[in-house]
Amino acid sequence: MSGAVTEIEVGLDARRYSIRVGSGVLEDSAYWCDAIRGRHVLIVSDDTVAPLYAERVREAMEGCGVDAAMSVLPAGEAHKNLDAVSRVFDALAELGATRDACVIALGGGVVGDIAGFAAACWMRGIDFIQMPTTLLAMVDSSVGGKTGVDHAAGKNLIGAFHQPRVVIADLLTLATLPDRELRAGFAEVIKTAAVADAAFFSWLEANAPRLLARDTDALTHAIATCCRFKAGVVERDERETGERALLNFGHTFGHAIETQAGYGMLLHGEAVAIGMVLAARLSARLGMANESDTQRLRALLQAFGLPTEAPSHLQPDTLLARMRLDKKNRAGTLRLILWRGIARAEIVERVDEATARETLLQEPA
């Protein structure tokens, strides 16, 4: 049985859905069975998460009266590609999945992005349920409907917007998450605070030890705060024509660093942590913010054991070339999310490339 469950609504009219955060919600189909409309369900997971949790989901599903099949993918960002999507299509074809079928994404952001994209494409769009099992996926990737895979030319270049029917975030799954993965998830938590919530930023500064010790109440507060914030942004700007881009604070730098280092070398959250420090430094260089805010951000990231400097072998010019390919750019100019200080992120058009390059070359203070 699950204990207290925190529920957050994403209000998107006919496509509205709930995010349910609690302990044991994975095994209690009462929280998600109603999101399954047809007879066919495909659980997509990876080869680390499936042995830990897939059977529990499948057993819980017996109460829903459906036939569930499994598709187990190799774990990790290196496999977030079209081959993986193709394997999910094969499993859907074998299941005989029709338009009322449902895909369950059980795993971290990689599984969520692949399974969600496959669901967006199969018969031009079938239902899917997000069951995030990493902190990063609970606070960020499972909410908001961005799905997709990487291309050799860059991260997440192939994708679609496709909202889930429900998000089931079971805190019990975090017990098996390796420390490094947990810390990487905190990068996106810190991002939420850095973009728009000064009180949350201070709360994170005060509660880092509790959060790293996986205190359930502290984790619930952090996850719910991030989901509430993201839900609001997605309600106002689902397709990222404006405000939603703010959630990419640190990501343009981060994606370039992650790709250049080679997928799998730096975790996504680690690359975002470095990217946020670079975005803050560039903001200070451009006279938009104080260096003291960069220092505060850096200290908070370090309190969560996150890296704050790019690996020294990465060349600034190569990183810049990657950044030019970012989806946020317009008309060949660099468009970045920078800030005016803590909780005051903003979109900046036509960022001066020379200043961005100097920032990449800058020695840590």
Ligand X SMILES: NC(=O)c1ccc[n+]([C@@H]2O[C@H](COP(=O)([O-])OP(=O)(O)OC[C@H]3O[C@@H](n4cnc5c(N)ncnc54)[C@H](O)[C@@H]3O)[C@@H](O)[C@H]2O)c1
Phi, psi angle pair for 176, to nearest 5°:
-95, 0
Active site residue 251: yes
Residue 339 bridge partners (DSSP): 345
Selected range binding ligand X among 104-112, 288-296, 337-345, 350-358, rule: CB under 6 A:
104-112
Q: Out of 214, 244, 328, 357, pick the active-site residue.
A: 244
Active site residue 313: no
Residues between 49 and 88 with contacts to ligand X, criterion CB under 6 A: 49, 52, 75-77, 80
Decide whether 28 or 113 has the Cβ nearer to ligand X. 113
154-161 and 146-151 beta bridge pairing: antiparallel
Closest approach of ligand X to the CB of residue 267, in Å: 6
Q: Out of 251, 281, 298, 335, pick the active-site residue.
A: 251
Residues between 285 and 324 with contacts to ligand X, criterion CB under 6 A: none
Among 184, 211, 310, 337, indicate the residue that binds ligand X (CB under 6 A): 184
Measure the CA–CA gap between 41 and 28, rounded to whole angstroms: 17
Decide whether 121 or 288 has the Cβ nearer to ligand X. 121
Q: Out of 40, 77, 165, 188, pick the active-site residue.
A: 188
Phi, psi angle pair for 327, to nearest 5°:
-65, -20
Selected range binding ligand X among 32-40, 55-63, 130-138, 201-209, rule: CB under 6 A:
130-138
Active site residue 290: no
167 binds ligand X (CB under 6 A): no
Active site residue 79: no
Residues between 140 and 159 with contacts to ligand X, criterion CB under 6 A: 140-141, 144, 146, 155-156
Residue 168, SS3 per DSSP: strand
Q: Out of 240, 281, 296, 322, pick the active-site residue.
A: 240
Residue 357, SS3 per DSSP: helix
113 binds ligand X (CB under 6 A): yes
Closest approach of ligand X to the CB of residue 273, in Å: 12
Contact 266, 311 (CB under 8 A): yes
Among 17, 31, 44, 46, indicate the residue that binds ligand X (CB under 6 A): 46
Residue 117, SS3 per DSSP: helix
136 binds ligand X (CB under 6 A): yes
Decide whether 174 or 282 has the Cβ nearer to ligand X. 174
Active site residue 188: yes
Phi, psi angle pair for 107, to nearest 5°:
160, -160
Closest approach of ligand X to the CB of residue 143, in Å: 7
How many residues of this chain bind ligand X (CB under 6 A)?
31
Nearest to 7 by CA among 116, 164, 144, 169: 169
Contact 101, 38 (CB under 8 A): yes
User: For residue 127, what are the contacts with CB-CB under 8 A and spacing of at least 6?
Assistant: 35, 36, 37, 100, 101, 102, 103, 119, 165
Decide whether 253 or 296 has the Cβ nearer to ligand X. 253
Contact 207, 218 (CB under 8 A): yes
Active site residue 162: no
Helix (H) or strand (E) holding 169: strand 166-170
Active site residue 81: no
Neighbours of 312 (CB within 10 A): 5
State the DSSP string of 284-333: HHTTSS-HHHHHHHHHHHHHTT---S--TTS-HHHHHHHHHT-TT-BTTB
Decide whether 189 or 208 has the Cβ nearer to ligand X. 189
**Which positions lie near ligand X, rule CB under 6 A?**
46, 48-49, 52, 75-77, 80, 107-111, 113, 133-134, 136-137, 140-141, 144, 146, 155-156, 173, 176-177, 181, 184, 268-269
Q: Please identify every residue annotated as catalytic.
A: 124, 146, 188, 230, 240, 244, 248, 251, 255, 268
